[in-house]
Amino acid sequence: MEPFARIVVGYHGCTAAFARDLLLGRQPIRDWQPSQNEWDWLGHGIYFWEHAPERALRRARERYRTRRQPPAVLGAYIQLGRCFDLLDESITALLGQTYERLVRAFAEERRSLPQNRGRQGKLRELDCMVINACIAELRQLGREYDTVRGAFLEGSPVYPGAGFSRESHIQIAVRNPSCILGVFQPNL
């Protein structure tokens, strides 16, 4: 991990029991299991909303509303470390190159690439595959990444003709749990 990398505050929607176990040290941060869904927006990792506790709570309420445990939010101090930052043009250039290689490989095998799908494209199967493939290629070249960070325009425009969306956000997927420096319970 880069010693002077940025530190950001992120918020994770979860169950109250999971939050309690982390906060009380019953579950160590290093054992926090990453999401490994094939539709994860930023590839595999532990997901956080950057500086958006209310958004994390809304997500937790949506995800856990049918379960018997109440939703909760964990705050975390995250050192981005070696960040695969999708707001960096050199990173998006690498991502584009990986996509082109995957297009050729899938065409040679006469297979179709996965597509982003679902309501408003929220199931990001293509993005997940391309990001995971790019990071795996870079790892083989000796370049490791601790986190992935991206900005997303989501939701309806704030006002007619606006270039801003109501649900825009920055998400972080932590691939290396040692980047999570500590957790706290936010006041919501």
Please spell the DSSP secondary structure of 116-167, one letter per residue.
Answer: EESGGG-EEHHHHHHHHHHHHHHHHTT---SEEEEEE--SSBSSTT-S-BTT
Q: How many CB atoms lie within 10 A of CB 62?
A: 11
pLDDT digits (tens, 9 = 90+) for 167-186: 889 999 999 999 999 999 99
Q: What is the pLDDT, as a whole number, of residue 118? A: 72
Helix or strand (DSSP H, E) at 100: helix 89-108
Candidates 102, 104, 168; CA nearest to 136 is: 102
**pLDDT surpassing 90 at residue 39:** yes
Q: CA–CA separation, 188 vs 184, rounded Å?
A: 12
- The residue among 61, 40, 58 whose CA lies nearest residue 172 is 40
Say whether pLDDT at 188 is over 80. no
- Report if pTM > 0.75: yes
Give residue 63's pLDDT.
86
Helix or strand (DSSP H, E) at 83: strand 83-85
pLDDT in tens, 67-110: 678 999 999 999 999 999 999 999 999 999 999 999 999 999 99
pLDDT given at position 15: 93
pLDDT at 143 over 90: yes
Distance of alpha carbon 166 from the chain centroid: 19
Cα gap 26→129, rounded to integer Å: 33
How far apart CA 27 and CA 22 sit, in angstroms, is 5
pLDDT at residue 8 is higher than 80: yes
Q: What is the share, in percent, of the chain residues with pLDDT greater than 90?
A: 79
Angle at 5 between CA 146 and CA 133, to 5 degrees: 25
